[in-house]
Amino acid sequence: MDDCPPTPVPTPETQNRESISQTILTVGARRFIHVFNHEGRMVECTEEDVTDRVIAEQAVLLDVVDVDRECPPDSLSYNPADVVKSYVLMCSPAKIPELCAGFALTEGLITSADLRSVEVLPIPASVTLGGIMPVPSPHAVLYRIRKEAPAAPLSRERVYTSGKLVPPVEATPSPALTPCPVTATIPQSALHLLQATLNAHQYIFKETGGAHAVALFRYRPPVAGGPATVGFLCHFEDVGRHNALEKCVGHLLLQGSLDPPATDTSRACPLFAACSGRVSSEMLVLCARAGIALLCSPAAPTSLAIRLAERLGITLCCFVRERELREGRGREQQATVFAVPQRVCSDGPQTAVAPRRRTPTPPKGKGRRM
């Protein structure tokens, strides 16, 4: 293992202009502006008609169908009677096959070897939101290889929430997750390179302020005395952070470049991920099933996410931020490693970054900035 800073390697965009245009909508709205004086009294109220750009959201009906291993791909056909599980996913209207494949893998419905194909049917389905608003929705079908002992069909009740779907209770528990061993180390400054790469690709968020984003990277060990590298693989934005991660995982899965966890390849060249929002325990479970060894974010983790990351051997880095110091004293990089710090090493002294100076906090009511 090498302590040289990994270098993100740019690759062609996976989130093309067409998917971005599908996700950004222009809507009309009424804006109210209230102005208050220093005493807290409203002194002016105005309203105006405006047009704002918002992120699109839709429902996707996903049916899971079991097929025989010997069944040729060209003979796959959808029959409602063959559906063993059915879900509704709330997401942004782009990259539906990638979302469905990534969702199935990270939820434990399939492994990387079980996926046969994913198709979006030409006739959309109808999903009723809140019991009052029916909306046309894409109808996706995921074909997976049938196990030797097929499970009994489960209830086809469709359960969904905004962003993260809550599946029905399983008849059998999901397979236990395997802790990820520490086989690679990166310097602390590389965390900011991963986060900066993700921030540069958040096109939908910059237009709407309502999208989450995830980017995946591949660690490459040193070759012939050269430095270790972390290559940029893909990124996606979505209305839900879980969806963005599942689209990234599904993209690699459909490309055939996703190695199963706990294999020699995944241990030597693990996946790293950068996300844009809060890190919850569900995100750690998704990372473990996809073989992601490190997750960084500029936001905060939850208490269960920290405990789960320690148990799963996933390096959890949050508050990965950078800011300018006052009086032109340089820049300050911050990152807090909450779990498995063995993957992150120190960069050593930084001459370009001045040491942080703490100023005394003034008492309340005497110049303290609230």
Distance, CA of 184 to CA of 270 (rounded, Å): 8
pLDDT of residue 235: 93
Domains of the chain: 58-145 (no CATH), 186-345 (3.40.140.10)
Tokens of 245: 């991660």
Of 352, 356, 39, 95, nearest to 249 (Cα)?
A: 95
Q: Report residue 305's pLDDT band, with 50, 70 and 90 as the boundaries.
A: very high
Check if the beta carbon of residue 246 is closer than 8 Å to that of residue 162: no
Summarised one tens digit per residue, pLDDT across range 278-287 is 999 999 999 9
265 or 313, higher pLDDT: 313
Above 50 in pLDDT, residue 25?
Answer: yes
- Beta partners for residue 89, in sequence order: 60
Distance, CA of 352 to CA of 330 (rounded, Å): 7
pLDDT of residue 360: 43
Total-model pTM? 0.82
AA letter at 287 = C
SS (H, E, C) the chain: CCCCCCCCCCCCCCCCHHHHHHHEEEEEEEEEEEEECCCCCEEEEEEEEEEEEEECCEEEEEEEEEECCCCCHHHCCCCHHHEEEEEEEEECCCCHHHHHHHHHHHCCCCCCCCEEEEEECCCCEEEEECCCEEEEECEEEEEEECCCCCCCCCCCCCCCCCCCCCCCCCCCCCCCCCCCCCCCCEEHHHHHHHHHHHHHCCHHHHHHCCCEEEEEEEEECCCCCCCCEEEEEEEEEECCHHHHHHHHHHHHHHHCCCCCCCCHHHHHCCEEEEECCCECHHHHHHHHHHCEEEEECCCCECHHHHHHHHHHCCEEEEEEEEEECHHHCEEEEEEEEEECHHHEECCCCCCCECCCCCCCCCCCCCCCCC
Check if the beta carbon of residue 273 is closer than 8 Å to that of residue 214: yes
Q: Which of 64-68, 79-83, 111-115, 364-368 has the lowest mean pLDDT?
A: 364-368
Summarised one tens digit per residue, pLDDT across range 129-186 is 888 999 999 999 999 998 765 555 444 444 444 445 444 444 444 567 888 888 888 8
pLDDT of residue 18: 66
Cα dihedral sign for 293, 299, 302, 303? positive
Summarised one tens digit per residue, pLDDT across range 93-125 is 889 999 999 999 998 899 888 899 999 999 999
